Amino acid sequence: MQVVHTKVELRAALKEAHTTGKTVGLVPTMGYLHAGHASLIRRARRENDVVVVSVFVNPTQFGPNEDLSAYPRDAEKDSALMRAEGVDLAFFPPVEELYPPGFTTYVQVEGPMTATLCGRTRPGHFRGVATIVSKLFHLALPDRAYFGQKDAQQLAVIEQMTRDLDLGIQIVGCPIVREADGLAMSSRNVYLTETQRAQAPGIARALFEAREMIRDGRRDAAAVVEHVKKTIAAIDSAAIDYVSMVDPRTLGDLETLSGEVLIAVAVKLGRTRLIDNIRVEV
């Protein structure tokens, strides 16, 4: 595995692939890699000649009171996982490489898609996401890029940006990877105390119960949302940010359920904010 740290190095390392027609798969990450990231890398490995993984904790998607400085980092562990999964090229840029002095240009997906769900309480977050992903796309020029469905809103925003800007990149959404007890894998799970970690799977159980309600014929979105809220509220130390039932493509709220439905939640356990979701075909 080749490791690079600068834009010049990244482009030089990919020049041969681009000039000879090899396909490039990109897996953008913020590091502290786990089995969920490994599943993205494996998918990219199956579908491309060259696999690139970027590791960058993007400061522009963190708010002033969020966990940028505390966000977990372990470059050695990340490199070991990437090597084990057959990554060809690892990109570890410092902040000043992607945001040099005088940087003033940002990418913003406008409208309800970025104003709902996490956008309600994280202003500017998706501007930061769209900007850094756009930069990585222009640097790596991938044929395909891989993102986890756990970050469902992020995935929808990136798909919209890619269509709107005619980037010609296939965006591949990959299924959520869960712990044995159902908790969605996340780098932030490391923040949980032992007690909170034991309580956290209750979030996924609430979503699974909602899925069964829908499969059993419930079509009133408000009733299903209320059940999820009550179930999560029963968890000690849980503070609900949102529980929403939306169209997974537009992220518009649903009243009567039909077609594909996304049930999305954001919950704080103590100081740790966890997101999760589940998709149901009605």
In tens, the pLDDT along 228-263 reads: 999 999 999 899 999 999 999 999 999 888 899 999
Backbone phi and psi for residue 206, each to the nearest 5 degrees, phi listed first: -60, -40
Q: Which tokens hold the place of 125?
A: 């977050």
Quick one: pLDDT at residue 279?
96
pLDDT tens by residue, 3-35: 999 999 999 999 999 999 999 999 999 999 999
CATH match for 2-174 among 3.40.640.10, 3.30.565.10, 3.30.930.10, 3.40.50.620: 3.40.50.620
How many C-beta atoms surround the C-beta of residue 272 within 10 A? 19
pLDDT of residue 33: 98
Place 70 in a pLDDT band, splitting at 50, 70 and 90.
very high
What value does the mean pLDDT take over residues 216-229?
95
| Residue from 34, 37, 125, 227 carrying the catalytic annotation | 37
Q: Is pTM beyond 0.85 here?
A: yes
Active site includes 34?
A: no
Average pLDDT value for the chain: 97
Return the structure tokens found at 227: 């059940």
At 91-150, the pLDDT tens digits run 999 999 999 999 999 999 999 899 999 999 999 999 999 999 999 999 999 999 999 999
CATH of 187-277 given 3.40.50.720, 3.30.1300.10, 3.40.30.10, 1.10.443.10: 3.30.1300.10
Locate the domains of the chain by residue range: 2-174, 187-277
**Spatial CA neighbour of 174 closest among 62, 64, 38:** 38
